[in-house]
């Protein structure tokens, strides 16, 4: 089981490297027009209960790397962040899932307070 997981991770990583290389091409410049292709990068959130809810909902609007980039925040700060995503940015996350995401973030990326 663990071996399969490791193999999948390796496969996923090499896939990402290859697709990153082919897609991170320099801007195509033709007469009067410019076009670029952004590399697609993906990150895995830390293990924990309801991790998949955080991974799924947050990634719809932004890279989940926003989360591990933050300093360790209190549960109240994470709750305020999740509320901001719903109230200000309109993320349609049901309250039940929002609570689970807040608990997950407060534990996996929080001060524990």
Closest CA to 112 of 36, 15, 103, 86: 103
Report in angstroms how near the CB of residue 67 gets to other proteins at its nearest. 8
Reduced to 3 states (helix: H, G, I; strand: E, B; else coil), residue 64 is coil
**Could you say which residues in the range 79-98 bind other proteins, by CB under 8 A?**
81, 88-93
**What's the token pair of residue 107?**
């534990």
Residue 19 is a binding residue for other proteins (CB under 8 A) = yes
What length is written for the chain? 113
Q: Per-residue x/- mask for other proteins, residues 40 to 59, rule CB under 8 A? A: xxxxx-------xx-xxx-x
Nearest-approach distance from CB 96 to other proteins, in angstroms: 13
């Amino acid at each position: 089981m663990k071996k399969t997981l490791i193999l999948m991770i390796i496969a996923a990583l090499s896939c990402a490297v290859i697709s990153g290389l082919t897609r991170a091409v320099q801007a195509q410049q033709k007469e009067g027009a410019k076009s670029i292709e952004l590399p697609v990068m993906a990150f895995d959130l830390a293990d924990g209960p309801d991790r998949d809810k955080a991974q799924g909902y947050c990634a719809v609007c932004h890279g989940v790397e926003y989360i591990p980039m933050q300093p360790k925040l209190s549960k109240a700060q994470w709750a305020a962040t999740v509320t901001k995503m719903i109230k200000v940015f309109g993320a349609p996350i049901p309250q039940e899932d929002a609570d689970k995401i807040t608990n997950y973030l407060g534990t996996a990326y929080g001060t524990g307070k």
